[in-house]
């Protein structure tokens, strides 16, 4: 059966046919990859205005009726787990803590069999109130985004003076047992690129795992420039001014982060402390990608940089069965490209910015 047989609308450019697809219940693609890690965006809205992500006035937000309801999100997550072999779920956005029903979505996801590994990527605002409830609902851990430890820089980068609230949120997440906690940091020239060693020293002392992410061409303003981004090489050189790092011998699998052991430091609970570098631009890891993405309005994306999407929401709202939705999702993933194409001469940034895709 093809996606056209199912009446699923698709964006031009999507691979609509799966005549050559083997009979496999999982989310396989033409390049031998199997997607088992689902990123679900729960909203395109955010309560920060990071300068590298969106303008001060925000963006034109998705109308409520277009966004999936909590029940619709849970149904798609259930189909992913029960029919498609998804094992890991990460809720993201926009800012997923802005979603009132997050605890209910987490609880329903935790009740699935087999229970997926479940995390949330958040800016940390609101965690003081909700970390315990999220842990009680079955959330395993959080990744918190933090680009600086200096209050005035935080206000400059995010356009909100709320560093203290993020740090309080992190403490609440740790108290609630939502670990191991990872800290996601983007370094930008002239803004915070001198802060990598301070951030690592702080993360090690707090028992968090720092991951520094190369800035990608996903900003709403389309102003990303390759020669203005801080590369993995620069990140590592900066960290090594203060720390001695060794490649982590552990199997990396489909993980985006290249991990390093930090000599002389231990993780809470034992074992060597680590730091990760996510070098999507200069050291891409598409060949081992195991991710599939769902936007807040129910579109499957095969990649952050995909130029096309497959519409599960229409199928869901049009009365599609679980089996039909699963089939459409399989066809979408069969069309996943071998790589993100940032280095291709004709590379075009996706229309949706990071905040609307789900980072």
Residues that bind ligand SAM (CB under 6 A): 46, 52-53, 92-93, 95, 121-123, 145, 184, 186, 213, 215-216, 218-219, 354-355, 359
Are the beta carbons of 132 and 170 closer than 8 angstroms? no
Q: Using the minimum distance from each CB to ligand SAM, give the nearer residue, 6 or 155.
A: 155
Residue nearest to ligand SAM (CB): 359
Q: Using the minimum distance from each CB to ligand SAM, give the nearer residue, 123 or 299.
A: 123
Q: Using the minimum distance from each CB to ligand SAM, give the nearer residue, 28 or 200.
A: 200
Among 195, 211, 239, 204, smallest CA distance to 142 is for 211
CB of 101 to ligand SAM, least distance (A): 17
CB of 185 to ligand SAM, least distance (A): 7
In angstroms, the CA 146 to CA 155 distance is 12
CB of 213 to ligand SAM, least distance (A): 5
Query: Residue 213 gets which letter from DSSP?
Result: E
Cα–Cα distance list, 199 to 180, 207, 208, 214, 229 (Å): 17, 12, 10, 15, 18
Q: What are the phi and psi torsion angles at 29 (to 5°)?
A: -130, 180
3-class DSSP string for 87-122: CEEEEECCCHHHCCCHHHHHHHHHCCCCCCEEEEEE
Q: Using the minimum distance from each CB to ligand SAM, give the nearer residue, 256 or 298.
A: 256
CB of 53 to ligand SAM, least distance (A): 4
Q: Using the minimum distance from each CB to ligand SAM, give the nearer residue, 52 or 260.
A: 52
CB of 327 to ligand SAM, least distance (A): 30
Distance of CA 173 to the CA centre of its chain: 18
């Amino acid at each position: 059966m093809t996606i056209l047989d199912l009446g699923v609308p698709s964006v031009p450019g999507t691979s609509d046919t799966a005549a050559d697809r083997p009979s496999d219940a999982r989310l396989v693609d033409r390049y031998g990859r199997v997607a088992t890690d689902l990123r679900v965006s729960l909203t395109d809205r955010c309560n920060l205005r990071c300068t590298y992500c969106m303008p001060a006035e925000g963006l034109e937000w998705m109308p409520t009726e277009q966004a999936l309801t909590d029940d619709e999100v849970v149904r798609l997550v259930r189909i992913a787990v029960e029919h498609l072999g998804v094992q890991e779920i990460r809720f993201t956005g926009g800012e997923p803590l802005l979603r009132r029903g997050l605890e209910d979505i987490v609880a329903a996801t935790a009740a699935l069999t087999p229970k997926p590994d479940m995390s949330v990527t958040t800016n940390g605002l609101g965690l003081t109130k909700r970390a315990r409830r999220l842990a009680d609902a079955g959330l395993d851990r959080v990744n918190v985004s933090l680009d600086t430890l200096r209050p005035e820089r935080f206000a400059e980068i995010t356009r909100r003076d709320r560093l203290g609230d993020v740090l309080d949120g992190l403490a609440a997440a740790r108290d609630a047992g939502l670990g191991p906690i990872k800290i996601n940091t983007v370094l930008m020239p002239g803004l915070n690129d001198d802060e990598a060693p301070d951030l690592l020293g702080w993360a090690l002392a707090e028992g968090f795992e720092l991951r520094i992410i190369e800035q990608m061409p996903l900003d709403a303003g389309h102003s990303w420039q390759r020669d203005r981004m801080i590369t993995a090489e620069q990140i590592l050189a900066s960290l090594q001014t203060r720390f001695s790092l060794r490649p982590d011998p552990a199997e990396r699998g489909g993980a985006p982060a290249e991990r390093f052991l930090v000599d002389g430091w231990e993780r809470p609970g034992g074992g060597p402390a680590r730091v990760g570098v996510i070098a999507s631009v200069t050291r891409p890891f598409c060949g081992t990608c195991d991710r599939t993405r769902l936007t807040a309005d129910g579109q499957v994306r095969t990649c952050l940089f995909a130029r096309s999407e497959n519409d599960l929401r229409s199928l869901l709202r049009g009365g599609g069965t679980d089996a039909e939705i699963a089939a459409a999702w399989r066809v979408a993933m069969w069309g996943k490209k071998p790589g993100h194409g940032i280095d291709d001469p004709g590379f075009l940034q996706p229309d949706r910015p990071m905040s609307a895709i789900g980072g």
